[in-house]
Amino acid sequence: MDFEAVRKGSARHPKPAGLALQYGTAGFRSRAQHLDHIMFRMGALAVLRSRATASAIGVMVTASHNPEEDNGVKLIDPHGEMLHPLWEEYATQLANAEEQELQKVMTEICQKEAVDLHRDALVFTGRDTRPSSMNLSQAVMDGVSVLGGQYRDYGLVTTPQLHYMVCCHNTQEQYGKATVEGYYEKLSKAFIELIKKANSSSSGDSQRHLKIDCANGIGALKLMEMERYFPQEILIHLYNDGTSEKLNHLCGADYVKVHQKPPRGLDMKPNERCCSFDGDADRIVYYYKDADDRFHLIDGDKIATLISIFLKELLVKVEETLKVAVVQTAYANGSSTRYLEETVKVPVHCVKTGVKHLHHKAQEFDVGVYFEANGHGTVLFSKAAETKIRQLAKEEKDDERREAAKMLENMVDLVNQTVGDAIADMLVIEAILALKGLTVQQWDGIYTDLPNRLLKVQASYSSSIVADRQVIGTTDAERRVTAPAGLQESIDALVKKRQAARAFVRPSGTEDAVRVYAEADTQ
């Protein structure tokens, strides 16, 4: 390793004195002006990870649903999944090392991971539309170059697109072509095949119009590029396309979910189907207004339910013993859990908050559906399940079974199995609604959410507990508290007084706050 080159490169991307950041679920996030050194160092770390795995690694510059002034970065592992937890620790160590410690920290990582420094390294880079992303992305490439790695810069892409590229490249393009056009072609082909079976009369022409709030982010650019690949049946109308307003400002999936109201800049008429992406297009929520002008949100729980019903019906038709399971977090509405278990008869598993926990659990099943309530999620098919489905689609003699298998095969190709993807999830939802002839109100009416509240208690409150959020210990997928003593008993006593009630508190994984969730039979 050329430490003189590292020293010189690092001097051009100096670390502000005393700044310490943690690599969390979403990678690093901060004000953009604090991140130049982080980007340089993550470019270098990606080279080490590439050499350690003999694979291409991704580096995405984005802060997702955060305000425009923020930015962030996350690394993408060989199969398009999130960075290995051990390497998250290395990322934090490298990010916070003072200039004179850089050499030592890098050397330690190489020794622990037996990194072959003579091996070629390839890093895929991408960025969102923030004003700061271009320069920060350049800092990543500087970090890649300083350790002798090669980079392939995809420029402006959604986060899920970069995950997809990394997976395509490392599977020798078995997963698809590692280009943006390849992504559009794969998804649109599967979508067109899937909706062939939709009887045009069943859902009526008006049902195919969809209004999309793009959060003034990258989703708008990519949907404009992709529009020519869509069939005529789907008519999308883009709002908050980034031409005049700020990213995520009073719009986007997070805003709509948290405030339970439509985004600014989108004019809703009664019973029109609308959806919102977040800033980097890895989350989606749907919503509509009823005839009485009441707003209805359709969140990740209802998306997971719709997809699970559809997959279960197809699997029953192909008479395969493949098992579907749904993975949720403690934030999932109790009504959704009950409906999935008792009516759809699909097992539901609860895991700790954070996409990596959901993804990991979903990998245990033939077909694993996971969504966070915030609209981030996807479907995973095991290798064995995928092989079986493709074989039935090709060889099954019985017409009905073969058609069902073909539809399952199209679902395999339409979902982005690497990560939650707003574009892919939107196409999955649109296809299912068309095939089942469902209106947005009928979908919403599958079950009724229990009234609930989600609050966050900031660390500035004059409470001894919240002065340090780590005082709160949790167990049972964060649904119960182990510390401080007496807290769980107090919660239990309150919950006992109400019907269909539950509540939990947990330290936030992304900010200095404690989150409090409660639901019951009445608001």
Confirm whether 431 is domain-assigned: no
Does residue 489 sit in the same domain as residue 389? no
Question: In the chain, what's the furthest Cα-to-Cα distance?
Answer: 70
Reported as a pLDDT band with limits 50, 70 and 90, residue 201 is: very low
DSSP 8-state code for residue 291: T
Choosing from 10, 50, 64, 276, the catalytic residue is: 64
Separation between Cα atoms, residue 136 and residue 33, nearest integer Å:
9
Segment 246-278, tens digit of pLDDT: 999 999 999 999 899 999 999 999 999 999 999
On whether residue 165 sits in a domain, the answer given is no
Q: What is the CATH number of the domain that holds 489?
A: 3.30.310.50
Whether 7 and 150 share a structural domain? yes
Residue 461 has pLDDT above 70, yes or no: no
| Burial classification of residue 382, based on how many CB atoms lie within 10 Å of its CB (0-12 exposed, 13-18 middle, 19 or more buried) | middle
* pLDDT band for position 173 (cuts 50, 70, 90): very high
**Angle, CA of 314, 320 and 321, to the nearest 5°:** 115
Enclosing domain of residue 105 = 3-156
Residue 170 lies in a domain: no
End residue of a domain, out of 266, 296, 326: 296
Q: Beta partners for 481? A: 474
Q: What is the pLDDT of residues 281-313, one digit of tens each?
A: 999 999 999 999 999 999 999 999 999 999 999
Do residue 255 and residue 119 come from a single domain? no
Both 284 and 327 in one domain: the answer is: no
Query: What CATH number corresponds to the domain at position 215?
Result: 3.40.120
Of the candidates 296, 320, 336, which is a domain's last residue?
296
Same domain, 134 and 232: no
Residue 439 in domain = no
Residues 150 and 7 in one domain: yes
Same domain membership, residue 304 and residue 273: no
Residues 200 and 265 in one domain: yes
Question: Residue ranges for the binding site for Mg(2+)?
Answer: 64, 278, 280, 282
Quick check: is 438 in a domain? no
Whether 440 is covered by a domain: the verdict is no
- Grouping H, G, I as helix, E, B as strand and the rest as coil, residue 327 is strand
User: Residues 327, 386: one domain?
Assistant: yes
Q: Are 262 and 268 in contact (CB under 8 A)?
A: yes
Residue 173 maps to a domain: no
- pLDDT tens for each residue of 20-51: 999 988 899 999 999 999 999 999 999 999 99
Q: Tell me the C-alpha distance between 139 and 141, whole Å.
A: 5
Same domain, 13 and 93: yes
Q: Specify whether 123 is located in the same domain as 141.
A: yes
Residues 329 and 313 in one domain: yes
Query: Cα dihedral sign for 83, 84, 85, 89?
Result: negative
- Domain of 122, CATH number, reads 3.40.120.10
Q: Which of 256, 278, 296 is the last residue of a domain?
A: 296
The pLDDT > 70 percentage for the chain reads: 96
E strands along 352-472, which residues? 367-371, 377-381, 452-458
CB distance 59 to 27 below 8 Å: no
User: At a CB cut-off of 8 Å and minimum separation 6, what does 493 contact?
Assistant: none
The span from the CA of 145 to the CA of 298, in Å, is: 45
Residue 230: alpha-carbon gap to chain centroid? 23
**What is the CB neighbour count within 10 angstroms for residue 432?**
21
Length of the chain: 523
Query: CA 450: distance to chain centroid?
Result: 25
pLDDT above 80: residue 98: yes
Question: pLDDT digits over 430-454, tens only?
Answer: 999 999 999 999 999 999 999 988 8
In a domain, 276, yes or no: yes
User: How many domains is the chain partitioned into structurally?
Assistant: 4
Confidence of residue 504 (pLDDT cuts 50, 70, 90): very high
Active site residue 462: no
Q: How far is CA 485 from the centre of its chain?
A: 35
Q: Which residues are annotated as a binding site?
A: 64, 278, 280, 282, 372-374, 506-510, 515
